[in-house]
Amino acid sequence: MHIEVLVEDASGEKLLEALLPKLFGAQGEPHTWRTHAYKGIGRIPKNLNAGGDPAKRILLDQLPKLLRGYGKTPGIDAVVVVLDSDRRDCADFLVELKALAASSNAGPNTLFRIAIEEMEAWYFGDRQALTMAYPKAKVDVLQRYTQDSVCGTWELLADAIYPGGSVAIKKAGWPLPGQIKCEWAERIGPLLEPERNVSPSFGKLRDGLRRLVSVGS
């Protein structure tokens, strides 16, 4: 089975590259996949037949066109789209995404998975991995987090593990936030254990991906 995996930014891509072999097995044994990072989530276009501007590489803006294209491409068995919910209502967002996929007609089997509020929630879901990667993490800050809550997730993680916390990152401005998130993915991602993770949204990712390849086997 071959799967195309779409994610909204480079840090998400790095995280998934560490996770997918733990869920699918080694690349090519028997499943294959490719990950594609975009430059932001964007929003679902009102006109689903619009082409969008491919140069901007904004995921939701491009998604209708992408799904139609994948549906016409031989050898693609499924598409997985991994997104942050940010401040959106997750249930409503998922309804919109499924409607978008249905409108693509000949599009491939498409699985949407949503992190609540951000993918950094999945690091909090495996505290052992997080503290192995960052042994000096501030335990009192980590304990303030309620799993899969909308609370400024990446900022709270930064307050726990980055010198100066989220204030220092925001003060420095772009590109530091993106660079720091990529570092977290590279350091924590390989240590995450899917069965140990207590994040409900991570559990939906894990179980959904395993079902996907099980059905396609």
pLDDT at 48: 75
Residue 215 has pLDDT above 90, yes or no: no
Percent of the chain topping pLDDT 70? 96
- Residue 148 burial (C-beta neighbours within 10 Å; 0-12, 13-18, 19+): buried
Region of 40 please: left (phi>0), alpha (psi -120 to 50) or beta.
left
- Residue 30 and residue 217 in contact, taking contact as beta carbons nearer than 8 Å: yes
Beta-sheet strands, E only, within 18-91:
32-37, 78-84
pLDDT category of residue 118 using cuts at 50, 70 and 90:
very high
**The token pair that represents 170 in the structure block:** 């925001």
pLDDT at 19: 97
pLDDT category of residue 216 using cuts at 50, 70 and 90:
low
**What are the extents of the domains in the chain?**
2-119+197-216, 120-191
pLDDT at 217: 56
**What are the tens digits of pLDDT across the range 65-105?**
999 999 889 999 999 999 999 999 999 999 999 999 988 76
> What's the rounded Cα separation, in Å, for the pair 116 and 14?
18
CATH architecture of the domain 2-119+197-216 equals 3-Layer(aba) Sandwich (3.40)
**What are the tens digits of pLDDT across the range 120-141?**
999 999 999 999 999 999 999 9
pLDDT at 23: 96
**What are the tens digits of pLDDT across the range 25-50?**
999 999 999 999 999 999 998 877 76
Which of 36-50, 143-157, 187-201 has the weakest average pLDDT?
36-50
> What's the rounded Cα separation, in Å, for the pair 29 and 32?
8
- Residue 7 and residue 13 in contact, taking contact as beta carbons nearer than 8 Å: yes
- Residue 93 and residue 63 in contact, taking contact as beta carbons nearer than 8 Å: no
- What mean pLDDT is reported for the chain? 94
**Partners of 37 in the beta sheet?**
7
What's the longest Cα–Cα distance across the chain?
51
Tell me, what amino acid is at 139? V
> What's the rounded Cα separation, in Å, for the pair 137 and 198?
19
Which of 52-56, 110-114, 137-141, 159-163 has the weakest average pLDDT?
52-56
**What are the tens digits of pLDDT across the range 80-91?**
999 999 999 999
Compute the average pLDDT of residues 145-172: 98
Percent of the chain topping pLDDT 90? 88
